[in-house]
Amino acid sequence: MAKKIHFDVTKKTIIYDNIVVRVVDLASSEKTPYVDPRQYDDKPEVGEVVGVGHGRLLDNGELVPLIVKVGDYVLFNKYAATKYRNPETREELYCVREEDIICH
């Protein structure tokens, strides 16, 4: 029988230009995003950044800091992201690269 492992991505070190985003329900959100995602056909998501990596690694080895910070609200394409569901809290999170964020 396989051993069950609890993996909470919000408590792990995020590497490079990866960002962890918690989806925000616009109807119940107190803050309004800069762009209304309902105007798009491919339905991007609005989310709150809950974790960021250390930066984007360039070919020459230089590490460029990320623009977004924890607590920012971002608009991102959910099809470019990896979905993650916390097994204990059932919270839905997305792992997305900074280049796939439309605006913040």
Q: Which two tokens stand for residue 8?
A: 């909470």
Question: What percentage of the chain reaches a pLDDT higher than 90?
Answer: 12
Domains and CATH numbers, the chain: 9-103 (2.30.33.40)
For residue 28, give Cα distances in angstroms to 25, 31, 35, 61, 98.
6, 9, 16, 43, 26
Res 27: pLDDT: 58
Could you tell me the pTM of the whole model?
A: 0.72
The pLDDT-based confidence of 12 (bands split at 50, 70, 90) is: low
The pLDDT-based confidence of 82 (bands split at 50, 70, 90) is: confident
3-state SS assignment for residue 17: coil
60-81: string of b/e by CB count within 10 Å (b at 16+)? eeeeeebebeeeebbbbbbeeb
Please check the confidence at residue 60 and state whether its pLDDT lies above 90: yes
